[in-house]
Homo-oligomer: A and B are copies of this chain.
Amino acid sequence: MSDLLPVLRVLGALLAMFALTLGVPLGASLWAEEGLWHEYALAMCLTLGSGVLLWWGLREHRDELLPRHGVLLVSLVWAVTPFFAALPLLLVLDAVGRPLSFTHAYFEAVSGLTTTGSTVLSQLDGLPLSVNMWRTFMQWLGGMGILILAVAILPVLGMGGAQLFKAEAAGPVKDTKLTPRMTETAKGLWGVYVVFSLACALAFWAGGMTPEDAVMHMFATVSLGGLSPHDASFGYFASPLLEGICLVFMLAASCNFALYFVAVRKGHWRSFWRDEEMRATLGALIGGGLLVALLLWAKGTYEPLQALRMGLFHVVSVATTTGFATTDYLAWPVLAPVLMLLMSGVATSAGSTGGGIKMVRMLILFKQARRELTRTVHPRAMQPLRLGERVVSDGMVFSVLAFMLVYGATVIVLSLVLLLTDLDMVTAFSAVLASVHCTGPGLGLLGPSSNYAVLTDFQLWVCTLGMLLGRLEILSFMALLTPAFWRR
């Protein structure tokens, strides 16, 4: 057990860094003259103090971290940070006379940091600017965390085929390698993320949003979070132009950021367009959007042009796990929302800020199933499984398949737990899917025009657990539950 103390030391250092990010809502609060800056300052001091105390108190434990430490560190970071991220919400909302329970505050923080974008708050337009700024900024921070998770933690642990990312990042261009050291890679991805963020905020602003709205919606868009500062979500703007801008950035952010990095650095845009996962992701998103548009038109829900606008925007929004909405799509023919929610499990790339299973895993599974079918008919034929230009090893396929099993089991168990509380089937299953995929809006009671405050505290904790498990790609968390982990 004592060999796990260095993990807590690193956690302390990360918390201290996290405290500094509270400067953003603090600044917003000062700028908007809300008179709430001391609440943020208090939250910042508490977070900083805890972090430093942990770091300093364990200064004797500087041992190098092993893979098993990585599992624990990642799990702890994603479980503990929301606790401190919830502090300003608790303090500020109490100060403005809309006190929040700890369950609600922690849920909201996990929802933000995992870029799920579910909310338990209503009358969002009436919240202080700094609160909405913090809610949306958490998603942007979470996006950074996800990128480093994808590039530096999961591949090292070799979990659920996450090694693929490492290889794929370098894959498309044979003679090119991503800068080998991981911090360098992470910086490259962050560079892409920051450039996207600037471009997105400017585009929103130029498209007619106020500067504040542009920044907050940028936070929610590039992180594929979808948490909105408006009760009407993206429908607040009723602007085809802004929806188009949002659409483009959601599509861009659903691709592997390493592809952009490699393409820009080497100028090899042709290999960008050849990447199999990218093509499958964009193909699924746009194809799904057109399909739903067709459905909306065929069933007479909208006129053709409106069907196209509505279908594309909502499919891309939900399937990229963003979750913005401009209308209550639960009123559409039932196939549409179900398809969108199911797609949110698969239609983003590894190395993006999206949630769910990731398209690269689906590609491997699809190819594996096809290979097995061929073998059924021609027992002696055995082709290797290829992704792009490289051969995927059997070990990798196993890894992906184990991931799928644990994923499926997690979804079923969490759903059954919700059913135990007598929640109806549609709400229960969709709440779990929307949480584990980090999508946000569900079906039944949890549609885009509703919010998670309709759930009881216990149900919210189940969803909170689902968001954390989904974001950690489950396996890392599950590994903690194996006896093998705690044995030395």
Interface code A163-196, partner B: CB below 8 Å = 1, 0 otherwise?
Answer: 0000000000000000000000000000000000
Given the interface pairs A416-B338, A425-B443, the reply to whether A369 lies near B71 with Cβ below 8 Å is no
Cβ contacts under 8 Å, A369 to chain B: 402, 405-406, 409
- C-alpha spacing A373/B373, complex, angstroms: 27
A254 close to B (CB within 8 Å):
no
- C-alpha spacing A420/B332, complex, angstroms: 11
Cβ contacts under 8 Å, A424 to chain B: 334
Cβ contacts under 8 Å, A406 to chain B: 369, 373
A422 close to B (CB within 8 Å):
yes
Q: Could you tell me the distance in whole angstroms from the C-beta of A174 to the nearest C-beta in chain B? A: 27
B368 and A405 within 8 A (CB): yes
A348 close to B (CB within 8 Å):
no
Interface code A370-414, partner B: CB below 8 Å = 1, 0 otherwise?
Answer: 111111111101000000000000100111011101101100100
A377 and B339 within 8 A (CB): no
Number of residues in A with C-beta < 8 Å to the partner? 57
A1 close to B (CB within 8 Å):
no
13 A–B contacts from the bound complex (CB under 8 Å): A157-B376, A158-B375, A159-B376, A160-B372, A295-B420, A334-B419, A335-B420, A339-B416, A369-B402, A372-B475, A373-B484, A425-B425, A425-B426
Interface centre among A374, A381, A424 (most CB of B within 10 A): A374
Cross-interface CB contact of A374 among B67, B334, B482, cutoff 8 Å: B482
A422 and B372 within 8 A (CB): no
Cβ contacts under 8 Å, A482 to chain B: 370, 373-374, 377
A236 close to B (CB within 8 Å):
no
A342 close to B (CB within 8 Å):
yes
Cross-interface CB contact of A402 among B339, B372, B381, B403, cutoff 8 Å: B372
B71 and A376 within 8 A (CB): yes
Looking at chain A's contact residues, the main secondary structure is helix
Which residues, 465 to 488 on A, are CB-close (under 8 Å) to B?
Answer: 475-476, 478-479, 482, 484-485
Interface residues in chain A, defined as those with a beta carbon under 8 Å from any beta carbon in chain B: 67-68, 71, 157-160, 295, 333-335, 338-339, 342, 365-366, 368-379, 381, 394, 397-399, 401-403, 405-406, 408-409, 412, 416, 419-420, 422-426, 443, 475-476, 478-479, 482, 484-485
Q: Could you tell me the distance in whole angstroms from the C-beta of A298 to the nearest C-beta in chain B? A: 10
Q: Could you tell me the distance in whole angstroms from the C-beta of A216 to the nearest C-beta in chain B? A: 33
Copies of the chain in the assembly: 2
Cross-interface CB contact of A484 among B374, B399, B405, B409, cutoff 8 Å: B374
B381 and A338 within 8 A (CB): no
Cβ contacts under 8 Å, A484 to chain B: 373-374, 377-378, 381
CB nearest neighbor in B for A403? B372
Q: Could you tell me the distance in whole angstroms from the C-beta of A137 to the nearest C-beta in chain B? A: 32
Cβ contacts under 8 Å, A381 to chain B: 484
Q: Closest 6 CB pairs between A and B?
A: A372-B402, A335-B419, A369-B405, A376-B479, A401-B401, A377-B485
Q: Could you tell me the distance in whole angstroms from the C-beta of A138 to the nearest C-beta in chain B? A: 28
Cβ contacts under 8 Å, A374 to chain B: 482, 484
Given the interface pairs A426-B425, A484-B374, the reply to whether A158 lies near B379 with Cβ below 8 Å is yes
Cross-interface CB contact of A412 among B342, B397, B422, cutoff 8 Å: B342
